[in-house]
């Protein structure tokens, strides 16, 4: 177990949604934020950077949304259910937009970093959708 | 004009929504993020902190959501309209929840920092709603 | 007075450094973070984006450092003086590196957004230095 | 390997410091940021919250510093070595201050979340020191 998982397991406040799905979602959000930041930088290092500006922009958007979502979900007690649902929906939309763009560059330009990023985005999209459906 | 307003006025990419409403919304998001961070710290300094834990939590949530929203709106070009709308909706919900909590403490506990914070949250809520309606 | 300035003026905890210099520094950090995010996006929209990748990178670094510095300074009570000084020094270095890069593009490529960004970075560098010297 | 580790391994830009130490440091920064956010929330849920306000404050500071440091280190190309060193030093100071506070509450108040958080902070402090010494 990571330190974060141990921390969530030991938290006394009962979260409003299922603890396991929420714990997986928090991890997925922070990993996706990190991978999207890395993908933005890898795109900036490519000789074809002028074809990747929309990808960089969506990477940065997705990193910001995932980080905010991960932080909000990490506050396990006393939150606003309406806010949590709306932020999860925004995260689903951010991951979907970024994944679609990265999948395109992974397939048509052979960019390995975009392929890895698309996978992380799809996993985060699924993890957020799972928490949303359980809500 | 602030540096940020000069920057938005000089940006060549036409944003998908009205530039003035968007510019005001970006300013409101960053100011609300800053005020919510300050309110969380002011609440932590109160002798009655144990009655303010939900307020601190919503302050921190609202600061994170406003900051992500401000950053995404600052990327004026090539964004995902679905993501922008969903993030604006999350920001409306975050500001509404934080304002309601802060208004309560402002009125019933006489907390000046909560009153100022509630005002900033309501202004940000209105600025986000205006951009959403124009979209 | 902005909401943030009202908030700082009403905070009961005495900050370890001079309140006015600190209040100006917090404002400068958050404005610089916002301007650097906008400059990164404006650079991404330029036809010569491949000549601006180092500028985009330093914009993003500076935005992240300024935001963390602004948040830490906003916590007026009970901080770690060693951490505050080290973070202020990192912010001085971030602003200096970003300003130098932006000044170059402002002068040699005529980029208005880089000129505005360089001004905001130099102001934030000065505001952080003033708080550091008073510490 | 996590997605983030795969991403770093596939990045074409040679980082200025050793890649493995840097990769471990990025992971440690993001994990520490996440754990500190969780510890702040767990402290807010404690009945003795009024004895934990300095801990919450340092948790929030450490989360902000670690996140900024992780983001800056994730930009593997073209950074400012002076900025990277100063930010790593700030992160060492943030982790040290937060760990000392959390160790105290772990030992004297038996708080499990503070013990886990102290471990994550000490690991992040060591990972940042290792990159600093190699620089």
Is a pLDDT exceeding 70 seen at residue C1?
yes
Average pLDDT over residues B52-57: 96
For the ranges A21-30, C125-134, D12-21, the lowest mean pLDDT is seen at: D12-21
Q: What pLDDT sits at residue C2?
A: 79
Mean pLDDT of chain A: 90
Q: Band of the pLDDT at A78, cuts 50, 70, 90?
A: confident
Residue range D65-91, pLDDT digits in tens? 999 999 999 888 778 999 999 999 999
Contact (Cβ atoms closer than 8 angstroms) between residue C111 and residue D104: no
Q: Best interface-test mutation with C: which of D83, D102, D104, D132 has the largest number of C CBs within 10 A?
A: D83
Query: Taking CB atoms and an 8 Å limit, are C53 and A45 in contact across chains?
Result: yes
Contact (Cβ atoms closer than 8 angstroms) between residue C75 and residue C98: no
Query: Taking CB atoms and an 8 Å limit, are B50 and D47 in contact across chains?
Result: yes
Q: Which residues of A touch D6 (CB under 8 A)?
A: 116
Q: Which residues of A touch C49 (CB under 8 A)?
A: 49-50, 53
Closest CA to B113 of B16, B40, B15: B40
Contact (Cβ atoms closer than 8 angstroms) between residue B67 and residue C67: yes
How close, in Å, is residue D133 to chain A by CA atoms?
Answer: 24
Higher pLDDT, A90 or B15: A90
Q: What is the pTM of this model?
A: 0.93
ipTM associated with this complex: 0.91
Cα–Cα distance measured from residue C88 to residue C66, given in angstroms and rounded to the nearest whole number: 9
Cα–Cα distance measured from residue A118 to residue A96, given in angstroms and rounded to the nearest whole number: 9
Specify the 3-state DSSP secondary structure of C55: helix
- pLDDT above 90 coverage of chain B, percent: 70
Q: Which residue of D has its CA nearest to B47?
A: D50
The CB density around residue A40, as the number of other CB atoms within 10 Å, is: 27
Average pLDDT over residues C55-71: 96
Q: Which residue of D has its CA nearest to C100?
A: D80
Q: Band of the pLDDT at B85, cuts 50, 70, 90?
A: very high
Is a pLDDT exceeding 90 seen at residue C106?
no
């Amino acid at each position: 177990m990571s330190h974060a998982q141990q921390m969530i397991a030991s938290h006394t406040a009962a979260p409003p949604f299922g603890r396991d799905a929420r714990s997986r979602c928090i991890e997925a959000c922070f990993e996706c934020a990190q991978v999207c930041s890395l993908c933005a930088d890898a795109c900036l290092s490519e000789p074809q950077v002028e074809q990747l500006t929309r990808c960089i922009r969506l990477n940065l958007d997705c990193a910001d949304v995932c980080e905010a979502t991960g932080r909000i979900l990490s506050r396990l007690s006393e939150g606003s259910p309406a806010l949590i649902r709306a932020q999860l929906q925004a995260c689903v939309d951010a991951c979907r937009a970024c994944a679609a763009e990265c999948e395109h560059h992974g397939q048509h330009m052979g960019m390995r970093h975009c392929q890895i990023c698309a996978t992380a985005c799809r996993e985060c999209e699924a993890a957020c959708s799972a928490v949303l459906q359980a809500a």
